[in-house]
Structure 1
Amino acid sequence: MKTRLDADQPVQCRCGQLRGVLARGAPVARVTCYCSDCQAYARAIGQADTVLDAQGGTEVVSTLQQHLRFTQGSEQLACLRLRPGGLLRWYARCCSTGIANITKDQRLSYVGLLHTAFADRRSDLDAGFGPAAGLAVYTGRARAPVPSRRLATLGHMARIIASVAAARIDGGWKTSPFFRREDGRPLRDARVLSEQELADARRGP
């Protein structure tokens, strides 16, 4: 698995109205998250079948927002929160493609790009980011036992955290496709799920 991109990687929603690029040189780590929130999010946007694997995992490419830009259709970006104060979870409203998860604090420039943001083509992920290394988090929430490479996962995530810290110091965090430059507010207001909607989304298959 690559730790930095050696070439630009295209980003797009399933229908192609939203397009962008993750730039060469971006720090990256492919990690599968099995947390209950990621599972609920996939169900909330009606994409559980395309986002989640057989054990309920969501594969994400962890990187920094400053390396991502949208070149077409940014007006299609929509934002969802499972609860007030929760992660900002972005998707393309045109086709409900899951795109990314970020924190509400722009200074923490981490972004987890869902595998569906790369048109959900496994061959493209392997070609662009290298073969998956079996890194996983929150495996206790998986629907079935999942092998965990805990030390390897921690090592890769430590590198991403170090990159986030560096962006905080050098000002790279100020460049983001999800926040407005003029006032630092999210590009879109997030819709927060109601208690009933969240309860429904948490119900597994």
Structure 2
Amino acid sequence: MSELHLTCDCRSVVAAVQNISSRTSNRVVCYCSDCQAFARHLGRVDVMDESGGTFLTQIPPAKLTLVTGQEHVHCVRLSPKGMYRWFTACCHTPLANSIPGFPFVGVFDHVFNDKQALSNTAGPVLGAVHTRRAVGPIPESMKERHELTLIAGTLKKLLRWKLHGLTHPNPFHKKGGQALALPEILSQ
């Protein structure tokens, strides 16, 4: 069984991802204004590239386990209906994005302990999404795959993950959708 380890910057929160591959994950760079706002809210612009992109590995929730430090895991939503954005209160490390009941967790690549093992296991970054929100030039290598192709591939994987029952267990949401931590809503 292959396992990748994740930690926050101060190592108070430890998580593990089990048995992922390019078939059970999706690696992208997201340039959406919400990911940028989340990083700025945490004072962590260092997790973005120079054009405001966030490197994410999208996996089914059942593949992720919080090992220690759950008490440090907090959540914000940028709006009442926004995505759940998880971070650590101990050192303000962004961890992941999630949607209750959806077979999806977008884990920030920043928290993976071994980036080379991540690439070897989950495959390369496939491309970029929400590129019109970039605050600077996007590397040519991120433009090779059209954004709609990436989104279609992601939707196909989400359907497969849902059909295979990989929505639960979810480290951030109970089966009824209740969040691990009550999210702070940043704007009404």
Q: Quickly name the TM-score band, shorter chain normalised.
A: 0.7 to 0.9
Q: Secondary structure at the match of 2:56?
A: strand
Please list the CA deviations of residues 153-187 of structure 1 after superposition, one character each: whole Å capped at 9, or x if unmatched. Answer: 55554444233223333433131001124x43111
In the superposition, relative to structure 1, how do residues 48 and 96 fare at CA in structure 2: closer, same or farther (>3 Å)? same
Residue among 171, 182, 187 paired with 1:189: 182
Deviations 1:74-94 (A, max 9, x none): 111100011111000000111
Determine the structure 2 residue equivalent to 1:55: 51
Q: State the TM-score, normalized to the length of structure 2.
A: 0.86
Root-mean-square deviation over aligned CA pairs: 2.2
User: Letter of the aligned partner of 2:54 in structure 1?
Assistant: T
Instruction: Kindly report which structure 2 residues correspond to 1:77-116, keeping only aligned pairs within 5 A, or say none.
Output: 77-103=73-99, 105-106=100-101, 108-116=102-110
Identity %: 32
* TM-score (normalised: structure 1): 0.79
2:18 alignment counterpart: 23
Superposed displacement of residue 129, structure 1: 3.5
Letter in 2 for 1:173: T
Q: State the match for 1:35 in structure 2.
A: 32
The change in CA–CA distance for 1:25 and 1:194 in structure 2 (over 3 A counts) is closer
Q: Give the whole-Å Cα distance in 1 for the aligned partners of 2:69 and 2:76.
A: 18
Contact 1:178 1:186 in 2 (8 A): yes
Superposed, which structure 2 residues align to 1:95-174 within 5 Å? 95-103=91-99, 105-106=100-101, 108-119=102-113, 122-123=115-116, 125-133=118-126, 135-146=127-138, 147=140, 148-151=143-146, 154-155=148-149, 157-174=151-168
